[in-house]
C-alpha cells in the first residue's frame, strides 16, 4: 500500500467517526426540539386553560355574593362574563386531551360546573335567597369548591406530566451528548493508534534508512540501506542503493 494511502485512510476513518457522531447528535437534538414543542403546545395549553377556569370560577363566586347583597346588575354582569371565559377555557381543555386520565377530569369538571351553574343561574336578588348566607355556605360554596378542586386536579395532572416529560428530555439530552463524547474518546484512542502506525510505517523506516546511509558513508556497507515495505520509502531505499552502486561503479571505472 502506498504511503499516501496509509495516511489518507487514517484521516478518512477519523472523519467518518466524527461525521457519524455529528449525525447522531443532530438527530437526537432534533427529536428533543420536537418533544419540547409538543410539550409547550399540549400540556401548557391545558394548564393555561385550567388557570383561566379557576379565575372564572372565583369571579363567579364573587358575582354570587353580589347577588346575595342585592346588586343584581353588577352580580349578573360579573357572572355572565366569567361564565363565557370558563366555557371558552373548558373547550380548549376538552379539545386538547392528550394524556391518560385527562378525559375523566374534563368530564367531571363539566358535571360539577353544571351543578354549580344551576344554583346561581336561578334568580337570587329579590328572592328569599337574597342575603341568605346559610343557603350560600350549604349549597353554593360547596359546589364552587367542588368544581374548583376538579379543575385544580386537571392542572396538577398536566403539571406532573410536564415534569415527567422534562425529566425524559433531560435523559434524552444526555443520550444526544453521548455520541459526541464517544466520538471524542474514540478519536483520541484512534489518534494514539494512528500515531503508532505512523511511527511504525513512516518515521522508523526513515530513521533506519538514514542510519543505513550514515553507516554506508563511514564503512561502505550497503546492507543497512533497505526498507521492508513496498511503499514510497521502499522505493527510496532502492533508489539510494542504485545510487550507491552507480557511485561505486563510477569510482572503479576511474
CA atoms within 13 A on the CB side of 223: 2
Confidence at residue 143, expressed as pLDDT on a 0 to 100 scale? 94
pLDDT band, very low/low/confident/very high, at 228 (cuts 50, 70, 90): low
Q: How many CB atoms lie within 10 A of CB 138?
A: 10
Higher local confidence (pLDDT), 7 or 109: 109
Residues in the chain: 254
3-179 CATH:
1.20.120
Least confident window among 19-23, 94-98, 121-125, 200-204 = 121-125
Q: How far apart are CA 217 and CA 244, in angstroms?
A: 10
Q: What is the DSSP string of 143-209?
A: HHHHHHHHHHHHHHHHHHHHHHHHHHHHHHHHHHHHHHHHHHHHHHHHHHHHHHHHIIIIIHHHHHH
194 pLDDT more than 80: no
What is the band of 223 on the pLDDT scale with cuts at 50, 70, 90?
low
Residue 138 has pLDDT above 60, yes or no: yes
Q: Is the pLDDT of residue 220 over 90?
A: no
**Domains in the chain: boundaries:** 3-179, 188-253
Extract long-range pairs of 127-135: CB within 8 Å, 24+ residues apart: 129/68, 130/67, 130/68, 130/69, 130/70, 131/68, 131/69, 131/70, 132/68, 133/68
How does residue 55 score in pLDDT terms, banded at 50, 70 and 90? very high
**Sign of the Cα pseudo-torsion (109, 112, 117, 120, in order):** negative
> What single-letter DSSP state applies at residue 220?
-
User: Is pLDDT at 87 greater than 70 in this prediction?
Assistant: yes
Distance (Å, rounded) from C-alpha 54 to C-alpha 161? 20
The residue-averaged pLDDT of 239-243 equals: 74
Q: How far apart are CA 195 and CA 202, in angstroms?
A: 10
Is there a contact between 214 and 208 (Cβ–Cβ < 8 Å)?
no
Q: Mean of the pLDDT values across residues 235-241?
A: 74
Across the range 81-86, mean pLDDT stands at 94
Amino acid at each position: 500500500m502506498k504511503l499516501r494511502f496509509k495516511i489518507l485512510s487514517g484521516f478518512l476513518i477519523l472523519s467518518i467517526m466524527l461525521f457519524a457522531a455529528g449525525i447522531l447528535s443532530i438527530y437526537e437534538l432534533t427529536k428533543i426540539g420536537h418533544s419540547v414543542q409538543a410539550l409547550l403546545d399540549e400540556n401548557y395549553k391545558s394548564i393555561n386553560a385550567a388557570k383561566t377556569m379557576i379565575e372564572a370560577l372565583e369571579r363567579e363566586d364573587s358575582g354570587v355574593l353580589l347577588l346575595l347583597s342585592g346588586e343584581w346588575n353588577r352580580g349578573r354582569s360579573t357572572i355572565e362574563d366569567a361564565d363565557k371565559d370558563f366555557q371558552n377555557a373548558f373547550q380548549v381543555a376538552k379539545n386538547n386531551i392528550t394524556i391518560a386520565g385527562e378525559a375523566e377530569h374534563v368530564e367531571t369538571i363539566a358535571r360539577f360546573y353544571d351543578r354549580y351553574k344551576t344554583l346561581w343561574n336561578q334568580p337570587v336578588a329579590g328572592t328569599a335567597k337574597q342575603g341568605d348566607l346559610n343557603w350560600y355556605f350549604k349549597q353554593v360554596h360547596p359546589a364552587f369548591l367542588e368544581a374548583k378542586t376538579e379543575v385544580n386536579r386537571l392542572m396538577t395532572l398536566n403539571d406532573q406530566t410536564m415534569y415527567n416529560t422534562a425529566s425524559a428530555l433531560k435523559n434524552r439530552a444526555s443520550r444526544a451528548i453521548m455520541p459526541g463524547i464517544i466520538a471524542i474518546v474514540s478519536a483520541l484512542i484512534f489518534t494514539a493508534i494512528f500515531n503508532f502506525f505512523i511511527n511504525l510505517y513512516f518515521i522508523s523506516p526513515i530513521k533506519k534508512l538514514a542510519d543505513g546511509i550514515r553507516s554506508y558513508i563511514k564503512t561502505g556497507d550497503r546492507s543497512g540501506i533497505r526498507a521492508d515495505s513496498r511503499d514510497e520509502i521502499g522505493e527510496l531505499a532502492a533508489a539510494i542503493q542504485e545510487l550507491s552502486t552507480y557511485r561505486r561503479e563510477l569510482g572503479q571505472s576511474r
